[in-house]
A = this chain, B = another copy of it.
Amino acid sequence: MRYAYLGPEATFTEAALLTYLDAKGLREQATIQPMRGAASALDSVLEGESTAAIVPIENSVEGGVPATIDALTEHGDLQIIAEVVVPVRFVLAVRPGTDAITSFGSHPHGEAQVRAYMAEHYPDAVYIPTSSTAAAARDLAGNASDHVAAVCPALAAERYGLEIVAEDIGDRQDAVTRFVVVALPGQIPEPTGADKTTLVAALRSDRPGALLELLEQFSTRGITMSRIESRPTGDRLGLYQFSIDLLGHIREARVADALLGVHRVAMSVKFLGSYPSADATRPIIDPTTTDSSFAEASAWLTGVLDRD
Could you tell me which A residues sit within 8 Å of B by CB distance? 58-64, 66, 85, 129-131, 172, 174, 176, 178, 185-188, 204, 208-209, 211-213, 215-217, 219-220, 224-232, 234-238, 240, 250-251, 256, 259-261, 263-265, 269, 271, 288-289, 293-294, 296-298, 300-301, 304-305, 307-308
Contacts and interface: CB of A to CB of B under 8 A. Distances in A.
A187 B208 CA distance: 30
B288 A232 contact: no
A225 B210 CA distance: 10
29 contacts: A58-B232, A60-B234, A61-B232, A63-B66, A85-B237, A129-B131, A186-B308, A187-B308, A204-B288, A209-B219, A212-B215, A212-B216, A212-B219, A216-B220, A217-B220, A220-B220, A226-B237, A228-B230, A229-B230, A250-B305, A256-B305, A259-B297, A259-B301, A259-B304, A260-B298, A263-B300, A264-B293, A264-B297, A265-B288
A211 B225 contact: yes
Contacts of A227: 237-238
A243 to B, nearest CB: 9
A174 B63 CA distance: 27
- Nearest 8 CB-CB pairings of A with B: A263-B297, A185-B307, A63-B232, A260-B297, A188-B308, A264-B288, A61-B234, A60-B237
A230 B230 contact: yes
A232 B307 CA distance: 29
Provide the main secondary structure of the chain A interface: mixed
A179 to B, nearest CB: 12
A62 B58 contact: no
Contacts of A301: 256, 259-260, 263
Contacts of A215: 211-212, 215
B236 A174 contact: yes
A85 B217 CA distance: 34
A251 B260 CA distance: 18
A261 B259 CA distance: 15
Contacts of A176: 237
Nearest to A237: B60
A293 B265 CA distance: 9
A185 B172 CA distance: 30
A232 B60 CA distance: 6
A242 to B, nearest CB: 9
A248 B113 CA distance: 35
Nearest to A66: B63
B232 A62 contact: yes
Contacts of A261: 220, 297
A269 to B, nearest CB: 8
B250 A304 contact: yes
Given A208-B224, A216-B216, A260-B297, 12 more contacts: A60-B232, A61-B232, A61-B234, A129-B131, A172-B235, A212-B215, A251-B305, A256-B305, A263-B301, A264-B288, A264-B289, A265-B288
